[in-house]
């Protein structure tokens, strides 16, 4: 449910989560501080970060950092509170603990849940034993082999075991895979920047030797511009292509051992662009403008609550209807020549209710009060074929409240009436337990 702007305060879950996570990270040591802060990572020279990682067990340190940011890491694997709906949801563990947003959403909404781990040897029996009506999945994309494993096991869950997975399996399949996204957009006729995908070294070198510069190169897997390079010198471009088909290339800020090889993606360079994002989750459409740091918009963590052009909402609706997707983010660029192009599709992105200070200053020198009028969502009115704006905050817990609500709607879940307050034998006012899952 949305929250009116004049009553907007962080939910108890969000406040507790942020304070708990901050306290845990503070106690995790120097590398936890570095790993948990983008600002510190940007400030340190690359040689120092590389040296620090070589001195420690990177896997163990990263695991501690990720667990420290999960406020529910030490909680039981299933809910114990009274249920407000007649279904139980399975939450698939994500290696970097991003599944905690789904836990927070289920707790906010009173939805019973049970955690399952599909990376364990007995994962199939764990799925069956869970007795869950559907499963919320966020594939781990921090390393390429994790994403591949999630893809294969999601396919088994849906095609062989007949389980309901949300978001939709095809949407999860091309999550963070640029080549799959570009191919899907091309097959469905949506206009995107000129893109060339090569699996052959000689063909890639031939294009690199004659392409207009600057040109953009991208790895298949990668978020926040970690796998994006802009080449202005042909010698460096050719070297990048050769590495891509030899030792492989590592994304910035990621494990240098996790290299992608055997494929290179070229894309036309678009100077002076504006970048926008429109998300559809369930029946809600939410949009904002992405602001750049240096050459890149993605990963800048800067955005402005400006309403995207309505044509972008229309295109997002056409894309999601074409794919049958109800949890998808569409990124657009507006070029200097007037073209509007689709650049990315994401099953998951995150946002908070308030933009960073720098984004507010860039988009609204008058302060957040004026810009707050843009906070809300659009709903498409099929009867009148028009968009209806609803003011409020609808993206709590990294937009996972909306995802849980969309899944409940898909399942046709019955929501129990609000539980009445009753007087306990000792005179305290308590909430009467409901029936159903707990």
pLDDT of residue 143: 87
Q: What percent of the chain lies above the pLDDT cut of 70? A: 74
| Burial class, 253, CB count within 10 angstroms (exposed 0-12 / middle 13-18 / buried 19+) | middle
Residue 261 is predicted with a pLDDT of: 87
**396-435 confidence digits (pLDDT tens):** 899 999 999 999 999 999 988 765 444 545 555 444 444 4
Contact (CB, 8 A) for 310 and 323: no
CA distance 213 to 230: 9
Helices 100-109 + 12-26 axis angle, to 10: 150
Percent of the chain with pLDDT over 90: 58
What would the mean pLDDT of 305-311 be, rounded to a whole number?
A: 90
Note the pLDDT of residue 45.
78
Q: Is the peptide bond before 229 cis (omega within 30 degrees of 0)?
A: no
Coil/strand/helix, residue 246: coil
Taking Cα atoms as reference points, which of 27, 129, 122, 133 lies closest to residue 87? 133
Q: What is the pTM of this model?
A: 0.81
Upstream peptide bond of 187 is cis (omega within 30 degrees of 0): no
pLDDT grade for 248, boundaries at 50, 70 and 90? confident
Question: Which backbone phi and psi does 238 adopt, to 5 degrees?
Answer: -65, -40
Q: Copy the structure tokens of residue 83.
A: 């249920």
Q: By the 8 A CB rule, do 47 and 36 touch?
A: no
* Confidence check: pLDDT of 361 > 60: no
pLDDT of 428:
54
Average pLDDT over residues 327-336: 95
How would DSSP label each residue in 103-114? HHHHHHHT--EE
Task: Specify the pLDDT at position 94.
Answer: 97
Res. 11: pLDDT tops 60: no
- Band of the pLDDT at 118, cuts 50, 70, 90? very high
Q: What whole-number distance in Å separates Cα of residue 116 and Cα of residue 426?
A: 39
pLDDT recorded at residue 395: 83
Q: Grade residue 365 by pLDDT with cuts at 50, 70 and 90.
A: very low
> Beta-carbon neighbour count of residue 199 at 10 Å?
11
Calculate the alpha carbon distances from 278 to 164, 226, 286, 314 in Å. Answer: 26, 22, 6, 10
Q: Residue 437: pLDDT above 60?
A: no
pLDDT 10s digits, 207-231: 999 999 999 999 888 665 667 899 9
**What token pair was written down for 290?**
């992405």
Concatenating the DSSP letter of every residue in 337-351 gives TS-EEEEEEES----
* More confident site: 57 or 32: 57
Give the chain's end-to-end CA distance (angstroms, integer): 22
Residue 387 reports pLDDT greater than 80: yes
For 50-90, what is each residue's pLDDT tens digit? 677 666 677 788 888 889 999 999 999 999 999 999 999 99
Strand-pair partners of 302: 291
Q: What is the pLDDT of residue 2?
A: 40
Q: Which pLDDT score, from 0 to 100, does residue 19 have? A: 37
Grouping H, G, I as helix, E, B as strand and the rest as coil, residue 224 is: coil
């Amino acid at each position: 449910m949305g929250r009116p702007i004049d009553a907007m305060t962080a939910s108890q879950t969000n406040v507790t989560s942020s304070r708990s996570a901050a306290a845990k990270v503070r106690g995790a040591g120097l590398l936890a501080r570095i790993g948990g802060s983008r600002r510190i990572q940007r400030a340190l020279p690359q040689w120092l970060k590389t040296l620090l990682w070589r001195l420690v067990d990177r896997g163990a340190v990263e695991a501690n950092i990720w667990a420290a940011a999960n406020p529910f890491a030490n909680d039981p694997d299933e809910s114990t509170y009274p249920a407000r709906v007649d279904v139980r949801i399975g939450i698939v563990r994500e290696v970097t603990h991003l599944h905690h947003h789904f836990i927070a959403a289920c707790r906010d909404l009173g939805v019973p849940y049970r955690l399952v781990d599909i990376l364990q040897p007995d994962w199939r029996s764990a799925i069956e034993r869970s007795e869950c009506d559907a499963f919320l999945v966020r594939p781990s994309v921090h390393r390429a082999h994790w994403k591949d494993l999630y893809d294969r096991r999601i396919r088994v869950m849906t095609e062989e075991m007949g389980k309901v997975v949300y978001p939709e399996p095809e949407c999860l399949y091309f999550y963070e895979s640029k080549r799959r996204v570009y191919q899907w957009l091309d097959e469905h006729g949506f206009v995107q920047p000129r893109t060339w995908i090569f699996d052959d070294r000689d063909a890639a070198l031939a294009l690199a030797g004659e392409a207009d510069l600057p040109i953009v190169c991208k790895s298949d897997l990668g978020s926040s511009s970690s796998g994006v390079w802009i080449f202005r010198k042909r010698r460096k471009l050719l070297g990048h292509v050769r590495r891509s088909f030899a030792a492989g290339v590592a994304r910035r800020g990621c494990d240098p051992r996790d290299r992608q090889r055997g494929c290179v993606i070229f894309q036309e360079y678009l100077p002076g662009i504006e970048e926008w994002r429109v998300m559809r989750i369930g029946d809600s459409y939410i949009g904002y403008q992405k602001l750049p740091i240096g050459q890149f918009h993605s990963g800048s963590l800067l955005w402005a609550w400006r309403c995207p052009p309505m044509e972008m909402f229309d295109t997002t609706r056409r894309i999601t209807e074409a794919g049958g997707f109800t949890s998808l983010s569409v990124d657009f660029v507006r070029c200097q020549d007037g073209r509007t192009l689709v650049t990315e599709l994401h099953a998951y992105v995150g946002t908070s209710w308030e933009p960073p200070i720098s984004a507010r200053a860039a988009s609204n020198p008058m302060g957040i009060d004026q810009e707050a009028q843009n906070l809300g969502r659009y709903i498409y009115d099929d009867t009148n074929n028009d968009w209806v704006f609803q003011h409020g905050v609808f993206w709590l817990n990294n937009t996972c409240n909306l995802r849980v609500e969309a899944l409940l709607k898909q399942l046709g879940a019955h929501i129990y009436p609000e539980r009445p307050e009753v007087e306990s034998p000792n005179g305290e006012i308590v909430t009467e337990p409901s029936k159903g899952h707990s």
